[in-house]
Each structure stands twice: as structure tokens, then as C-alpha cells.
Structure 1
Amino acid sequence: MVDVLGQSLSLLLFSAGIVIAIMEALAPGAHLIVLGVALITAGLIGLLVPSLASPLILALLVTITGGAALVVYRRLNLYQGTDTGQTRSSEDLRGERGHVVERVTERSGRVELERGGFDSTYAARSLEGEIPVDAEVVVIDPGGGNVITVEQLSEIDEIDRELARQREREESEQA
């Protein structure tokens, strides 16, 4: 067993992980939790199975458990980058883009917004017709509640539409 400052390395890893987890609880945002989970797990394994308490094995355990924690947090969409996970007002959602995760109709549906706050999925309604799964959408009315109104983004933007109208006018004048 390796001692550092009179304490076992496993106990130091475990203690550092607890301190980091407490820091994360005081200032949440999932910035430190992966490291905290990795240190706590490696320290606990080192304390419970002293034969695995060599520095090389503990370093390997920190790496493996840190990678596993990162994968879990990303799959659960908890580990997000800068400026995501922030609470926003409903009016901030107007104009946000996203995609449909559950077919959107005039009565039901669900979308995931690119920058939709901590939970980026919202109940959604369309103004008219249906919007299929995976279609790109834009929020036209945040609604002020928990249901937003979205419209499907077309493949042709407004500039392209205007250019097409101009070409049609020119062709009709030439004919």
C-alpha cells in the first residue's frame, strides 16, 4: 500500500473525490462531477480491495471510471458545454431551431431545441398539418407555458424564394 502524507493513496483519492463532488453540489453545471465520480470510485475500490491499491492500478481505475462516467453523463444529456443548461425565459425560445423527436401535429408532439436550456425537449404543436420525426423546426411562439408552437423549416430559405419569384417575373415578361 502506497502512503502519501501519512495516508493511503486510496483514502486520498476517495477524499479528493468527495471534496470535488461537494464543490459540484455548491456550483452545479456538471463540470467537475465526472472527475469526482472517478476519484471516489477508484478510492473506494482501493480501500475495499487493498491488493489493487498500487498507483498504476489506481490511475487506470480513475481513467476507466472517468471515461465511463463521461459516457453516462453525455447519454443522459447532463454533461453539457458552456452556456447550456442555463435557465431561460420562454420568450428566449422564439426563433430557436431544433428537430422533431415525436411527430408534431396541431394537438401533440415533442421537439428538441439546439439551445433549449437545461431540459432541451419541449412539448410542441404545429400551426397546421404534421411535422415528421427528425424534421428541422423553428419556434414561432414560445407560448409562455410548457407547450411551444413550431414550424417546419423548408429546404429553401426566404432569399431563395425571392430569387425564384424574380426569375418567374422575368420569364413571364419575356414571354
Structure 2
Amino acid sequence: MYYEHYTEVNLFDICDDVFHEKEIYRNDVWSKECMNRILQLGSGISGGKERIYSFFTQYDFSLADRAKFLKNEYGIGGRSYDFKNQNQDHGFIDHDLKGLTVCVSSKDSSSLFKDAESKTFSWTDISLRIEKLIATGNYFTDEEMECYNSMNKDEILPDWLLKRYDIIFN
């Protein structure tokens, strides 16, 4: 009788890198790092993140034009969001004509809306934050940037954008 050799594989013995999870962040959900992670999600509309990147890197549009573009790109809507901080806060991100609103409530709250704290960021503020993420190479993940570059081979960050953040390399 012939017996095949089988190898036992433990599906639960995997490292966190498989899921691309970052470490747990500090408690402050209003920190620059937390806001950056929210903005790095993009507009939530298919191809939105790529359209935002293209718009912000093609021409030196005015701040008002960029804010208007973002208001239209994001539209009216929202989504739930887990902050991945030490308190395990959860909440939602809402966007409308006024701007982007981040609402957070602690994991111990019985309702998402009970004892919730929220802040609204204007489209002008969001525009400045996204522009800086793009200029410093932090808007796209490495995988997203590779994919974007493969479709837009000749595109590079313009000098005017890099100069604005003192990132020019000589």
C-alpha cells in the first residue's frame, strides 16, 4: 500500500505583514498621522485616488480650485472607520459640501453616536494636507505608486510642487 506524504500547515501561524497592518497608533485620533491615514484612503470612489493624484500633480492650480475639485470628487457620503489606536476607537468619516468630518467614539460606547466627538476639516485644509502627502511621497502606498507609474510612465512630480515643500534635490 502506498501512502502519500502530507505536510501540515498551520494557517494561523502567520505574521502581521501578511495583512499589511501597521502597529497600533497612539490615542490621539486628531493627530497628523491619523488624518494622513484617513486621507490616504482616497475619495472612496473607484479611481478617485488616482484622479486626485493626477489633478494635484498636473498643473499648479489655485488652492480654491483644488478645494473645489476635492469637494466634487468626494461628493456627499461617508463610511465607517476603525482608528487602530490604543483605545480601539471607531467612528465614521463623512464628506459633504462643507468638508470632511471625522467622528469618533470609544469602543466602550454602546452607540456610534452617543458620546461621539467630531471635527470638520474644510476642503481647503484637506487640499493642503493631500498636496503635502503627494509632495513627500506619502499619498500612495508603494504598491499603488508602482501601479500608477506603470500606467503613467512619463509623469514625475513637478518642480513647483517640490519647491513648495523644500524637497528639490540638486
TM-score range, shorter chain: under 0.3
Between structures 1 and 2, the one with greater helix share: 1
Higher relative contact order, chain-length normalized (CA < 8 Å, sep 6+): 2
Q: Which has the larger radius of gyration?
A: 1
